Amino acid sequence: MAGTSTGRTTATQHTGAAFYPLHRSGEDVPASPSFPTLEQEVLAYWKEDATFQASVDNRAGSRVDSSGEPCEEFVFYDGPPFANGLPHYGHLLTGYVKDAVGRYQTQRGRRVERRFGWDTHGLPAELEAQRELGIDDVTEITRPGGLGIEEFNAACRTSVLRYTSQWEDYVTRQARWVDFDNDYKTLDPTYMESVIWAFKSLYDKGLAYQGHRVLPYCWHDRTPLSNHELRMDDDVYSDRQDTTVTVGLRLEQRLDTTHPDAAPELALIWTTTPWTLPSNSAVAVGPDIEYVTVRVDASLDSPVAGQDVLLARDLLGAYARELGEDPQVLATYRGADLVGTRYVPAYDYFDDETHRAEGAAPGPAAWQVVAADYVTTTDGTGLVHLAPAFGEDDMYTCQAHGIGTVIPVDDGGCFTTEVGDYAGTHIFDANRPIVADLRDAAGPLARRPQDQRAVLVRQSSYVHSYPHCWRCRKPLIYKAVSSWFVRVTAIRDRMVELNQEIDWFPAHVKDGIFGNWLAGARDWSISRNRFWGAPIPVWVSDDPHYPRTDVYGSFAELERDFGVEVTDLHRPFIDTLTRPNPDDPTGRSTMRRIPDVLDCWFESGAMPFAQVHYPFENVEWFESHNPGDFIVEYIGQTRGWFYTLHVLATALFDRPAFTTCVSHGILLGDDGAKMSKSLRNYPDVSMVFDRDGADAMRWFLLSSPVVRGGNLVVTDKAIRDTVRQVLLPLWNTWYFFALYAAQAGGEGREDSQDPGGQPGGRGGYLTQGVDLHDASLFVSRGGLHVMDRYILARTRDLVSTVGAQMDSYDITGACATIRDFMDVLTNWYLRTSRQRFTDGDTTAFDTLHTVLRLLTEVMAPLAPLTAEEVWRGLTGGRSVHLTDWPVIPDHVGSPALVAAMDEARAAVSAALGLRKTEGLRVRQPLRTLTIATADPGALAPFKDLVAGEVNVKEVRVLDAESAGYRVTREVALNPRALSPQVRRLTSRLFAAVKAGEWELTEDGDLRFSQVLLDGVPVVLEAEDSAFTVTSRIEVDDDSLAAAMLDSGAFVLLDTALDDALEAEGWARDLVRLVQDERKAAGLHVGDRIRLELSVPQDKGAWTHTHIDLVKSEVGCVDASVVAVPGATAPTARVEKVEGWSHRAAETG
């Protein structure tokens, strides 16, 4: 049956007409197709035919696949994109990988449901809504008389739902098959119910808790971020110019008792965030660092002239300008000796009895020196300023010493009234006045007695890499906030263990970027001070005297306690649910929900179970479909979706969320920078679709290193090259087949009519291909033509290799294998078999039909639109995407034939390369080509084939060992590619190379028997690119050009010309001239011509000698030759012979 992939077809010639393409009645295969137009037609056909749904339904029930095994389901989790904008190339790349894998697994007999999903909540959606509403400050939503949460959330809903419809157009155009009708959205009530169930489950397990921690904080969006959000993209960190200051803090009592009359020392601290100085609560030193007190010369032009200062000894030189080149050292201390030393705080904001009281913040332990292991002498002064509200290490260190946290900065990043001098000033704007007051001892500094004032020792600006909000792009701060956390540290070891059950592509991600991230994972902040998202389902008492916390995990639980039907979990509706506190005997306190919503990453991490409303529905389905078989996203998701999936799956189910993960690289603009809408440094997606087609973009992306984790620059030229290098060769082969099949069996093109009533006599040859199960066809004697057996054996190798590559998710490798095969098909098989097609050899048509059918079935996941068009035109079947992956019998393979033919191909390629080097056009015949090989007998049958391709009169095949030619090999080392252990032996390796003390192993590795590493000879592996080997053949005859083959064989081309060879070369040039004229006249392959040739007078004899050769090559019935005195170039005139065809010539 046409369209099946077993190859059970016959080689019998069918009577009647062959109207290729079979799926387009009365149409020809266009020689120069518009791929975008063809793609639109295929897309329309899929929609009308419901092909996608058929591909899923066909794999249902008890059906068995092509290997006879019961069908399995292939569980694919589609990561939900943020529905806050249109797709970009990164989305398209990920979508292409998803689609290619889904189509391939379907061909393998598996049912692959591809439910689309949308990430509709969180900051991305809110910021888009704010932009549309013209809101920059979130207080415009919450302030009295403001927009209000209800209206704002309605705008968020409208925005995301609008983008979902636009996404569908893009995804459909890229030929990605997904189920939009059964999609899931994180805003769906059922999805949100599963999300709050997950939160409650974590709470019940002790894995969700409320805490006070320093977190990355966006003051613009007024919400904390999780640490993993700062590690997803390189561009989260960007350069920023900031001010650094070194400040001297006066000690309460003098350390150096040898000078008791001197004032207490100034302890030098350094900070890159001057705005945190009003919150200073302690100073940290390294316990084992050496510190010194030095006296600064009073005559020095320095803010601390005449003062005694304390800093790390190793950093004295860094402050030579302020302290002098060689200041007097008064005393030396270990850091541990300084612990407990008290100092006068620079500011008096919290230096009063209320804040120094026990239990207050910062409390009685504040403003002292403490020890910390993280203090270094890499920069700064060796004494670290601690502001526990604005540094994670600061908070941990201060808490360990009983120092409380003061937070004089509000949600919008402005100082509160606690810091009266700077109240209402944004922290980044406050740096300038804070530094000025330190320098001038003004403002709050002036309130201190002069002998207690802090001193500005140094001020400078510097550019550093600084974290920015991944959505609004404003610089972040670290700020102590109250947040709900997932206790990741409690399950971290188990997460590391379960990661070993996941197959990662590329493999290094498992124990590299993802494994390392897991090993250092910290508790995950999951609450956001925002509006549009799943609520944190926690209700607390509004009276601290009667504390109570309730956590809910379902609609039923909420309805049970609050007595109302709950249909929407969004704010502000969920916030209206209140009830009396059951633990308050007075009845006056009320249970109210905390205002936070969940991190949208928590919601996307819940996707495997929330999409099916687990555990409220589909329990059995989920248990049998989890873990998922496959997910794919870009490498940054190792800190994003991959990570949150893994956290929740480990915490809730003690298993991985997925078993296979492809983590691709990043796409870059044509300038090598990350793609940017503002820079417009990448081709417009719609323009590429309209100009080159979706398959061109798909193949370009999937065949590139980006799928293997590398980065890729996207350019117009690279996408267009895909059309030229892949799609056009496939199409040209299809066109070639259809054109010659139409000529192969008819009664002429002009004066006949086919049996179906179509004018034009489109007779031809209708075939279903070669019966691949007929083993008698694949023997050397009595079987198919050797070229047919070769290309079919190569096709079997193609199917096997690409299948193995797709099984291992090496999509890029699969593309490379197909492209190599297409080179063999178009530039070897068709080129060497063209005359057979011209002669109407039916076995050639049978073979090419089979090869094209199998090729398009193999290409179907990787170029689905073009493959569909060719396959349907070739077979008349419903869809290539409803076929199974091809299974080809073993007897079709022929390793020996393939090896011999491939060496013949290599010899031809090398010889043609020599022709080019020597400036000898291919149409010019040469006398001999000698091939020296290890197996002359295998290559000997192809001498005539090689001779025809290289255009030589004779091919000699010799045994390389006894050929008598000397082959020398030279080794070049690449020291940069050597391993660190071997690199220290570089000089000895170079000496061994020079002395010839090396050998090549059978695997192509380079072995040095005289250079030992740990007593073992050094072996450089070929795949490490640490060396190259160049082989040369020594020949004495200047007329011989020599070249080596990769197999170790070599070729020798005799480049000498004589008069007879040049005459034939002239005739071949005339053939080319006439063929060009035929093409210009619009003649068909089978059309016959009369020919008039005008040639230079000195070429007349050559022309007459070879006129029969010219006539036979160009389909000429009658030719005349005129020698023209003074002419320098030939001219040709062709005239079509009416009523004449190649078939008529044979039968008449």
Residue with tokens 């899929």: 46
Q: Which of 46, 601, 885, 1140 is catalytic?
A: 601
904: region left, alpha or beta (phi > 0 left; psi from -120 to 50 alpha): alpha
Is the separation of the CB atoms in 1047 and 1011 below 8 Å?
no
Q: Which of 452, 637, 768, 924 is catalytic?
A: 637
| One-letter identity of residue 325 | E
Q: Which of 21, 33, 80, 264 is catalytic?
A: 80
Q: Which of 21, 46, 105, 119 is catalytic?
A: 119
**Hey, how many other C-beta atoms are within 10 angstroms of the C-beta on 999?**
11
Q: Which of 677, 890, 895, 994 is catalytic?
A: 677
Active site residue 641: yes
Torsion sign, CA atoms 1073, 1075, 1078, 1080:
negative
Count of CA atoms in the C-beta half-sphere (13 A) of 842: 15
Active site residue 197: no
Question: Which candidate, 1112, 1141, 1147, places its Cα nearest to that of 763?
Answer: 1141
d(CA 698, CA 695): 5
Question: Which candidate, 442, 399, 390, 418, places its Cα nearest to that of 277?
Answer: 390
3-state SS class at 643: helix
Active site residue 275: no
Task: Please give the full DSSP string across 857-874, using - where no structure is assigned.
Answer: HHHTTTSHHHHHHHHHHH
Residue 745 DSSP symbol? S
| One-letter identity of residue 432 | R
d(CA 568, CA 574): 7
| One-letter identity of residue 1071 | V
Torsion sign, CA atoms 546, 551, 555, 556:
negative
d(CA 5, CA 884): 6
Is the separation of the CB atoms in 684 and 641 below 8 Å?
no
Cα–Cα distances (Å) from 822 to 815, 852, 856, in that order, read 11, 10, 11
3-state SS class at 755: coil
Active site residue 177: no
Residue with tokens 């393979």: 893
Active site residue 368: no
Strands 266-271 and 237-250: antiparallel
3-state SS class at 668: strand
**Residues for the chain: how many in total?**
1148
Element (H, E) at 506: none
Is the separation of the CB atoms in 19 and 26 below 8 Å?
yes
Active site residue 80: yes
Is the separation of the CB atoms in 124 and 600 below 8 Å?
yes
d(CA 454, CA 431): 16
Give me 159's structure tokens: 């925005």
Give me 235's structure tokens: 């561009």
Question: Which candidate, 987, 1018, 989, 990, places its Cα nearest to that of 1005?
Answer: 1018
403-414 burial code (b ≥16 CB/10 A, e <16): bbbbbbbbeebb
Residues 6+ apart with CB under 8 A from 1084: 743, 749
Q: Which of 504, 641, 1102, 1140 is catalytic?
A: 641
d(CA 675, CA 1043): 45
Is the separation of the CB atoms in 141 and 152 below 8 Å?
yes
Residue 1019, burial from CB neighbour count under 10 angstroms (0-12, 13-18, 19+): middle
Is the backbone peptide bond immediately before 21 cis, with ω within 30 degrees of 0? yes
Is the backbone peptide bond immediately before 506 cis, with ω within 30 degrees of 0? yes
Q: Which of 474, 674, 943, 1136 is catalytic?
A: 674
Task: Give helix then strand counts, H and E, for the chain.
Answer: 38, 38
Active site residue 314: no
Give me 944's structure tokens: 């005539």
3-state SS class at 548: coil
62: region left, alpha or beta (phi > 0 left; psi from -120 to 50 alpha): alpha
Active-site residue list: 80, 119, 601, 637, 641, 674, 677
